[in-house]
A and B are shown apart, each in its own frame.
Chain A
Amino acid sequence: MKFKIFYILLIISFTNLNASQKIIDSNNIFKNIRCLICQGQSIADSNSDFAQTIKLVVNDKIKEGKTEKEIYEFLIEKYGEWIVYKPPFNFNNSLLWILPYLTFLFGGFLIFLLLKKRANR
């Protein structure tokens, strides 16, 4: 009996998990789209004409069943990478993504060398 209840709960939780993955939060998308005519604002924060139009288009795309990634790709195709706050990884911005990790590794390496040097004294 206990196992049955456990299995039922497990199935329900997986179903909920899948359902929540399919629902796209339009606000989340709005926050990652730059308002091209505003000063440092996303379209979520802006009431400009441009922001309102992009919001309409994004909502249309969600209704069409497009994924978040497809919506970003569509907007990048039309306005370039500048429109998204989190640009996709590519050759041009690879340094931007890799540099923090390189700095972290280099810092670690330096600390390791200094500690080793201190231990040898």
Chain B
Amino acid sequence: MKKRIIKTSITIFFLFITLVFLIGLNKSSIYDTKDLVGKQLKNIELDNFNENKILRESDLKKNDFLLINFWASWCGPCRREHPTLLKLNRINNLTILGVNFKDKKENAKKFLNELGNPYDILAKDELGKDSVYFGIYGIPESILVDKDLTVIKKFVGPISKNEFNYIVKTVEK
């Protein structure tokens, strides 16, 4: 009887360990932004790009949806993403906030003059510290938020065609 209990408990224990390893090793260890969805952006303080003024939450709640795009003139993928942002700018219910990331003002202005300005509001983050408050770890990155500044989705890298369709669908719902 005792032998059977020992055998069964050893089997159960090893099955349990195998199961834990199986689940653990199959889990993706790549950084994912899904945890940020549903969280509200708070205590926003961004430097206005053109004026010596601070942009706060109240300045960003003018439309039902807000797309915060982090970009720089030195970033190649941002250049590729730019036509998509220009298309998104045509949507009525969406405000686009551009945060110029670790860039020189002159270069940023030149970039916008050359490719067009898709941003309704423009801010700058010269040291990149403000972007940490948005969970940014590289550019381009965009965050779609609702009127309460609750994160709907975060887009890492240039906005793809599917992601563009998702934004249009969400905003025009």
Which residue numbers of A lie inside 8 Å of B, CB to CB? 36-37, 49-50, 53-54, 56-57, 60, 77-82, 95, 99, 103, 106, 110, 113, 117
Contacts and interface: CB of A to CB of B under 8 A. Distances in A.
Nearest to B138: A37
A78 B132 contact: yes
B128 A53 contact: yes
Contact-residue bracket for chain B: 20 to 34
Contact of B31 (A53, A54, A79, A110): A79
Given A80-B31, A103-B17, A106-B9, 17 more contacts: A37-B138, A49-B128, A50-B138, A53-B127, A53-B128, A56-B127, A56-B128, A56-B129, A77-B39, A78-B36, A78-B133, A78-B135, A79-B135, A80-B36, A95-B20, A99-B20, A113-B2
A80 B35 contact: yes
A49 B35 contact: no
A103 B35 CA distance: 31
A121 to B, nearest CB: 13
Interface of B: 2, 6, 9-10, 13, 17, 20, 31-33, 35-36, 39, 102, 127-129, 131-135, 137-138
